[in-house]
Amino acid sequence: MKKVAYGTFPVLKAPELNSNDEISQPALPSSWSCTALLHPFSPSPDGSQQSTPFFQLCIATIAFIEGQILSVQVTGLEYGTWWYKITPMGTTVSRDQGSTWTSVDMGWTLPTQNWLGNDASYFKTGYLNWMEAQEVDWWKQPVENSNATTWIWFDHSTSLPVRMMFGAPPPTPVTGDPAQLAFLQNFSFTYFPQFQAASNPNTTTWNPASIPGFNPGNPYGYKMIEWNSCFAMTTLMTPVDSKSMPLPTCVLYQWKPDNDYHQYTDRTQCTMMSYEYNPNAGFGTQVAMLYGIAPTGMPNPPALSGNGYIFNEIIFLTRGYPTPIVLSCQNIGLGEEPPNWASIPAVEGSIHATIVDNPVLCPGQTVNIISVLFPPTDEYPQGRYLWTWYSPFPGSDGSHSRPVTFMESASNIAEGGTSLALADYFEYVESPEGDWFPPEYFDLPPICLTKTKNQEKKK
């Protein structure tokens, strides 16, 4: 494998989407019905709150009639059923599938046919991931009084929703913002396996969601994922701050075993993010270089082991060869995750469901829906979810799987930052056993090393 500059790779090509100048903002039918697969922002704050469905993976049957009603019938994968009816008069809920009803103030308002406001913007059209189930139109809707944005993906052929991601959580875990979509805003990430116009949608009888190929829990006994020790992949990374657009990205990853570890480049993840859709960034590529920790007990471990850096660069062509010019570099202090990252006890990794050959979600494939927990914060002392979908390779027990999507709930948005919250995966290539990347692929630019030495002198 020849030496390459950052931003290029001899095998993989970053995903591309298409522009469509004829796209107009979609409006939903005046009446419709759908099923939804709903991923929560976090587990319950106290571990026992079961009065609402918002702390567990749920499926729902939803029906809508313009100006009259939004009916949401929810089934939790761990506990409970809820049936919400949102009308111009307010919201009622039934916990016994329609036998009795109670008025509740959820902070929701009855939606209209337009899920996007006047300030929404169209991004591109293309596939969601390597499965190429359907082409979708990417739309973003800034959240009022926030730096965050909501992303909605509409089926290109029908203009009906396929997926949505809320960049900003609701005011509280159990209430909503009247300016955001009722009910759906209380979940971070939602897929719509079925969505269709309906002249007379059912809003009067209990009809729990049925998603073809969906199996709650882990009925097939799959094991937790474990990354290959050396691979390359491409992904489209989507931020949730309202100023940024998605980033076509290439990732190189390797983690040599203890006996083969000698230098910091032996355990590295290099993530090369193109800013071609963000021309105002002032640079062309951002690279995150993360180094894994040295083996336990290793005498004099390399100084950079366990560290991480982000640097920005512009690539020039010098006699036809790409030459990167690094503009700035920052030590972020976070290193590379090991291949078994999802099984580390602290993250509480769990398989919540398996989907088999669903025509919208995973045609011809099997997918496991997995959660891990981020550490506690002031806003989420119980931690918040990272949701990821993985597709087991044929004959695999689940540990050997291909990534589909990776989503961070309630991503923190730094002013001016990208706040990457979502990765959709495309190409994926594993290296044969023992065939490692050249160490020069993972060298740090001199500006990063100089800055690090200066920081150490100041201590």
* Residue 313 to residues 2, 9, 274, 327, 390, Cα–Cα distance (Å): 21, 16, 10, 5, 32
Domain residue limits, the chain? 31-211, 230-440
pLDDT (tens digit, 9 = 90+) per residue, 172-216? Answer: 989 999 999 999 999 999 999 999 999 999 999 999 999 999 999
What is the average per-residue pLDDT within 9-19? 76
Q: Is pLDDT of 4 > 50?
A: no
Contact between residue 31 and residue 201 where contact means Cβ atoms under 8 Å apart = yes
Average of per-residue pLDDT across 44-73: 93
CB 279 within 8 A of CB 292: no
Locate the DSSP E strands across 284-384.
Answer: 285-291, 308-318, 321-331, 350-356, 366-373
What's residue 418's pLDDT?
52
Give the Cβ contact number of residue 51 at 10 Å.
12
Predicted confidence band of residue 432 (pLDDT cuts 50, 70, 90): confident
pLDDT of the residue at 379: 83
Task: Return the pLDDT at 14.
Answer: 76
Question: Is residue 2 scored above 70 in pLDDT?
Answer: no
Amino acid of residue 130: W
Give residue 166's pLDDT band: very low, low, confident or very high (50, 70, 90).
very high
Distance CA 36, CA 51 (A): 20
Inform me whether the pLDDT recorded for 455 exceeds 70: no
Please indicate whether the domains covering 31-211 and 230-440 agree at the CATH topology level.
yes
The pLDDT value given to residue 13: 78
Instruction: Select from 214, 293, 223, 306 the least CA-distant residue to 258.
Output: 293
Residue 5 has pLDDT above 50, yes or no: no
Assigned token pair, 200: 């007379």
Give domain 31-211's CATH superfamily. Answer: Lipoprotein localisation LolA/LolB/LppX (2.50.20.10)
Does the domain at 230-440 match CATH 1.10.357? Answer given as no
CA 167 to chain centre: 11
Alpha carbon distance 326, 333 (integer Å): 19
Asked whether residue 339 carries a pLDDT value surpassing 50, the answer given is yes
Distance between CA 247 and CA 277 in Å, rounded?
Answer: 7
CA atoms within 13 A on the CB side of 31: 9
281: helix, strand or coil:
helix
- Dihedral angle sign, alpha carbons of residues 352, 356, 362, 366: positive
Q: Tokens at residue 130, please?
A: 């390597």
> Per mean pLDDT, which range of 24-38, 312-326, 339-353, 392-406 is the poorest?
312-326
Mean pLDDT estimate for the chain: 91
Q: Is 323 a residue whose pLDDT tops 80?
A: no
